[in-house]
Structure 1
Amino acid sequence: MKARSFRFFAPFAFALSFSFLSAAPARAAGPDPDPWFGKDKALHFSVSAAIAAGGYGVGSAIFDARGHALLLGAGLGVLAGAGKEALDATGYGDPSWKDFTWDLIGVAAGLAVAWTVDLLVRGTGDTHPLFTAPAPGEMKSLGPSGLRVVF
C-alpha cells in the first residue's frame, strides 16, 4: 500500500517543488552592448552591399561570364568585411561576429541586386551566359591597349 501511495503522490511532490524553485525572482540582464539590429549593423550591411555590387559591376565589364563577376564581387565584399573585423581585433575597434554576419548578408544582397540588374540590361546568351564561363581558350580584348584575358 505504501509503494502505491508513493507512486501516486510523487508527481505532485515533484510539481510542487519545481513550482517553488522556478518562482524565485530572476535577475534582469543588462542591455546587449552589441544588438543584432544596431545602427552599425545597417552600416555594415549597406557598405558590404555597395562594395559587392561595385565589384560585380567591374567584373561584368572585364569578364563575359557572370560567374566570374559574381566571384569578384563576393571576394571584394567578404575581404572588406573580414579586413574591417581583423582591424577591429587588433585594437582599433570592437570585433563582432554579428558585424561580420551583416557583412555577409550585405554581400549576398548586393550581388543579388547587381546580378538582377545585369540580367535585365544585358540578358543571357552565348556571349553573356547566366553563370558559366566561356569555353577554354576564348579571349576578350579589353580595349586599345591590347590587354587580353584568357579563360
Structure 2
Amino acid sequence: MKRLILPAVFLLAGCSHTANDRWSGQDKAQHFIASAILTAAGSEVAQRQGSSSVRSANIGFLFSVSLGATKELWDSRPAGTGWSWKDFVWDVAGAATGYTVWRLANE
C-alpha cells in the first residue's frame, strides 16, 4: 500500500487546475459520507468474495479513495471545477471512518 501512495502523490501534485474552495460546506459532508459508505460497501463485497476481514477492509478503503481521486481528476480537467485537495482530504477522512466502523462491526 505504501508503494502506491508516494507515486500517487507525485502524480496528483502536478494538477494545474485547482479549486479555490473552503474546508467546510455541504459538498464536504457529501464527500465524507459517500466515502464512508463506499468503504463499508467495498469491504462487505470483498468479504463475501472470501477475503479475510483485514484484507476486505483494506480493499474497501482503497476502492473508496481511488474513486475520490478519480472524481478529483475529472474535476481537474479544463472544463471542470478544479482539483480540490480539501475534497480529497474529506474523502480520505470518510474512507478512514468507514474502515474503522466496518472493522468494529465485523469483529
- The answer to whether TM tops 0.5 is yes
Q: How many residues align?
A: 87
Q: Secondary structure at the match of 1:101?
A: helix
Q: Give the alignment partner of residue 82 of structure 1, picking from 69, 75, 85.
A: 69
Deviation of 1:78 after TM superposition, in Å, equals 0.8
| 1:104 aligns to 2:89 (yes or no) | no
Q: Flag the structure with higher helix content.
A: 2
Q: Give the alignment partner of residue 94 of structure 1, picking from 82, 86, 106.
A: 82
Q: Secondary structure at the match of 1:92?
A: coil
Once the two structures are superposed, the pairs formed by residues 17-56 of structure 1 within 5 Å of their partners are 34-56=21-43
Q: Secondary structure at the match of 2:83?
A: coil
CA contact (8 A) 2:57 2:102 kept: no
User: Any idea what the Cα deviations from partners look like across 1:90-124, whole Å, max 9, x if unmatched?
Assistant: 133332000000000000001111111111xxxxx
Amino acid of the residue matched to residue 78 of structure 1? V
Higher relative contact order (CA 8 A, sep 6+): 2
Amino acid of the residue matched to residue 111 of structure 1? Y
Quick one: structure 1 residues 64 and 76, their matched pair in 2 at CA, closer, same or farther if it must change by over 3 Å? Answer: closer
Q: Specify the alignment match of 1:63 in structure 2.
A: 50
Distance 2:64 2:51 in 1: 20
Q: Secondary structure at the match of 1:68?
A: helix
Deviation of 1:67 after TM superposition, in Å, equals 1.8
TM-score calculated relative to the size of structure 1 = 0.54
Q: Specify the alignment match of 1:9 in structure 2.
A: none
Deviation of 1:60 after TM superposition, in Å, equals 1.4
Distance 2:49 2:96 in 1: 21
Deviation of 1:72 after TM superposition, in Å, equals 1.1
Q: Secondary structure at the match of 2:76?
A: helix
Across the aligned residues of Structure 1 and Structure 2, the Cα RMSD in angstroms comes to: 1.3
Structure whose alpha-carbon radius of gyration is higher: 1
How much identity, in percent, do the aligned residues show? 36
Structure 2 unaligned segments of length 5 or more: list them.
1-19
Distance 2:49 2:106 in 1: 13
